[in-house]
């Protein structure tokens, strides 16, 4: 992994602009490396890191240098392009064997995010379809990985175009985790919908919950809203019910890492409790995700694997410079929870807005 600085433009008030055409993840065609924004460093500093092996890409996914289901998928696709370059194979069969090994490493890095396995499968299908030299396979893999990344940007914009109708002028929206450009190749899923509403001139205010324990809301979503000029306030996760009960939030938006065939949604831990509070107060709740996040092979959310992360993410939090938890304390740290479909008003995809019954209507996205 290589760190290097970039020049950035600054607003008059000192807030950082995202550089024009800058993506969360990209392939450098001159250096043959993958470059990403290191999301662990935000908002204190904006760093770009470079990777030249698929093992480093897998570590970056696991360590959350890159995160967000669509961004993870693109990272894995480019990871296989690196694996193809790394391979010392002398024939196509040996190269495909090396790619399968690399694919296993990449798939294991974040088991809940279905986009990761989807992206790996898409690249492998291309690799197996090529009839030609090893260089032909390598070239086809990189072309497909780039196409996947470019498609993600267009998919995000199409989701926003569908979802923007759900936000009314003057709405206050509670947003969970981070679903903006940082969670995708560019533009965003749920935050992309909010962004487009703002760009259309709608007055929208965002209550950004912190999203503990890694605080993606407070660190990343708040930072992105600063760049977009969208008004926001940060709240702790356990404040959401208060604002919903008092009628001070009209909508709830979040993304998804996996959606089962019946519309159950696996998303960042805390989504379930937020959806429960919204449902109890009759506030519409929307999941925004590409169709690549939908896994029709899973009948319901109970079959979605839930990643358990290092307990240190919970135990090592500090307050005013002091550790919060006692030495020797133990913790549990599931990274995701499953929100039952009965709590979700609609799911926004690039192919349209899907409403209940989800077990029937989600399938129509794939059957035309």
How many CA atoms lie less than 13 Å away from 216 in the CB half-sphere?
Answer: 24
Structure tokens that stand for 223 in this block: 């930072």
Structure tokens that stand for 178 in this block: 């981070």
How many of the other CB atoms lie within 10 Å of CB of 361?
16
Chain position carrying tokens 């549990």: 332
* Residue 257 annotated as catalytic: yes
How many CA atoms lie less than 13 Å away from 265 in the CB half-sphere?
Answer: 32
Q: How far apart are CA 350 and CA 282, in angstroms?
A: 26
Query: H or E stretch including 170?
Result: none
Three-class HEC string of 155-166: HHHHHHHHHHHH
Catalytic option among 38, 56, 209, 257: 257
Q: How far apart are CA 214 and CA 237, in angstroms?
A: 12
Structure tokens that stand for 216 in this block: 């993606």
Strand-pair partners of 39: none
Q: Which positions are catalytic? A: 257
């Amino acid at each position: 992994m290589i760190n290097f600085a970039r020049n950035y433009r600054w607003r008059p008030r000192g807030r950082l602009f995202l550089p024009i055409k800058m993506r969360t993840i990209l392939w450098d065609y001159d250096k043959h490396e993958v470059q990403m924004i290191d999301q662990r460093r935000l908002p204190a500093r904006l760093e770009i890191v470079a990777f030249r092996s698929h093992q480093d890409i897998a570590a970056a996914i696991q360590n959350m240098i890159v995160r967000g289901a669509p961004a993870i998928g693109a990272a894995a696709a480019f990871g296989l392009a690196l694996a193809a370059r790394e391979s010392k194979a002398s024939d196509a069969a040996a190269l495909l064997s090396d790619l399968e090994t690399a694919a296993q490493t990449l798939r294991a890095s974040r088991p809940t995010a279905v986009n990761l396995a989807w992206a790996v499968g898409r690249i492998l299908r291309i690799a197996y379809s090529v009839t030609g030299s090893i260089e032909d396979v390598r070239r086809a893999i990189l072309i497909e990985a780039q196409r996947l990344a470019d498609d993600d940007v267009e998919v995000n914009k199409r989701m926003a175009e569908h979802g923007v109708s759900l936000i009314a002028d003057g709405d206050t929206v509670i947003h969970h985790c981070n679903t903006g450009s940082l969670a995708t190749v560019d533009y965003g899923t749920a935050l992309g919908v909010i962004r487009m509403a703002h760009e259309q001139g709608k007055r929208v205010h965002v209550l950004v919950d912190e999203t503990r324990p890694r605080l993606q809301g407070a660190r990343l979503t708040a930072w992105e809203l600063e760049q977009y000029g969208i008004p926001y306030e940060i709240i702790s996760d356990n404040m959401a019910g208060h604002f919903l009960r008092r009628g001070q939030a009209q909508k709830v938006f979040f993304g998804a890492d996996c959606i089962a065939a019946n519309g159950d949604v696996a998303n960042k831990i805390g989504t379930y409790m937020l959806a429960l509070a919204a449902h109890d107060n009759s506030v519409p709740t929307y999941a925004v995700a590409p169709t690549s996040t939908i896994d029709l092979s899973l009948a319901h959310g109970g079959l979605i694997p839930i990643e358990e992360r290092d307990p240190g993410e919970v135990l090592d939090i500090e307050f005013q410079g002091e550790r919060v938890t006692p030495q020797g304390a133990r913790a549990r740290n599931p990274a995701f929870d499953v929100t039952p479909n009965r709590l979700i008003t609609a799911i926004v995809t690039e192919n349209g807005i899907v409403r209940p019954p989800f077990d029937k209507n989600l399938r129509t996205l794939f059957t035309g």
